[in-house]
Amino acid sequence: MSAAAPLTFQLDATDGDACAASVTDSHFPIRIASIFVIFVTTLLGTLPPIVWRKSKTIPRALFDFAKYFGTGVIIATAFVHLLAPAVEELGSPCLSPAWQEYDYPFALAMAAVLAMFFAEVAAYRLGTARLLRLGVRISEERNEERSSDVEAPGNKPDPLAKPVDCDEAACAEPDCIEPDCGDLECCDEDDGSLSQPPSNAEAAAQLIAIGVLEFGIVLHSVIIGLTLAVSDEFIVLFIVIVFHQMFEGPGLGSRLATLPLPKSAGWIRYAGAILYAGCTPVGIAVGLGLREGFNGNSGLFNAVAGILDSLSAGILIYTGLVELLAHEVLFNPRMMGAETRQLAYVLSCIALGAGLMALLAKWA
């Protein structure tokens, strides 16, 4: 009885036209210009929620639109723009048949979901001590009082109401969410009603969650930048990616805006926005610089892109469903106690973001 053949994962299994390099110099000036166009348009989608968080003139509903529209975009990105392409990439004929003998994209996405869950559990366990060393103190007792107030019969706070302007004097007022806010930007993190101020452990988990969310989005952004640089269908893909990055921007920007940070670390919000805006242009620049020897159809590229897309999909699936939908909507007493029209507005924003982002997948 002969021994079974070993399972090997060759990266390049076919030398046919489907796996050959396809390098084109068409639209080269526009490809160069796309680096700057995408950087600027991505910033235009990401920075407004960060800037608006202190504004007294921007309607609360507009900030909430950006926030919850972005939630829908992130969820659609996970399923339609990451997991679906990962299945195609790891099922490429340019890879050996061993890659098709198991559902690696779904397994990798599941591993990323579990890793996110374990990281959040660790953050809740270890976050309090770390934040205290940083001088971040958020009153848990005040949280409990606010929760009790929300759950009281007949108390239906307006989730779209504008937040109280909390300067040093106003922080002593009863309407201020966090009177004992230490060196935090007092009450800047609160959205006025839709979310409650986090405890120390929750704040640590939130910091990690936002960091991992950005990490997942950044990986995806670099890959689409590389793809755009060498694609034969440049014009259509370019237009789609501009809208893709702009739609994804409010989801990330609104989360960066609500990060519980000390005043001295407020620059982190802007750094996160610039990092996200720069990733796709960096991918484009690298792709253009290496286009002579770069093969976007090769087994190596398909394997790397498929693995990274699968992991990014798992990260965004967990973040979108747990951190954004569950924590901010389903388990948020302020949201669930809001008037029906207000809740319907938020749900409509989520559906619109997911629908438009899913529609973009028709072209890219």
Q: Crossing angle of helices 299-318/104-133, nearest 10°?
A: 50
Please report the pLDDT score of residue 108 as a whole number. Answer: 94
Tell me which residue of 256, 231, 255 sits closest to 241, measured CA to CA.
231
Please report the pLDDT score of residue 21 as a whole number. Answer: 64
List, for the chain, all residue ranges whose pLDDT scores fall below the cut of 70. 1-18, 20-25, 127-206, 292-294, 296, 364
| Domain range summary for the chain, segments of one domain joined by + | 23-360
Beta carbons within 8 Å of 108's beta carbon, 6+ residues apart: 86, 307, 310, 311, 314
Q: What is the mean pLDDT of the chain?
A: 75
Please report the pLDDT score of residue 356 as a whole number. Answer: 92
Please report the pLDDT score of residue 195 as a whole number. Answer: 42
Please report the pLDDT score of residue 344 as a whole number. Answer: 93
Strands (E), the chain: none
Q: What are phi and psi of 92, to 5 degrees?
A: -65, 140
pLDDT tens for 288-337 read 887 766 676 778 888 888 898 899 899 889 988 988 898 888 888 888 88
Cβ-contact 93, 10 below 8 angstroms: no
Strands (E), 232-342: none
Strands (E), 91-212: none
d(CA 294, CA 153): 64
pTM: 0.71
| Nearest-5° Cα angle at 138, 133 to 144 | 140
pLDDT tens for 171-224 read 433 333 333 344 444 444 444 434 445 555 555 666 777 777 788 888 888 888
Please report the pLDDT score of residue 43 as a whole number. Answer: 92
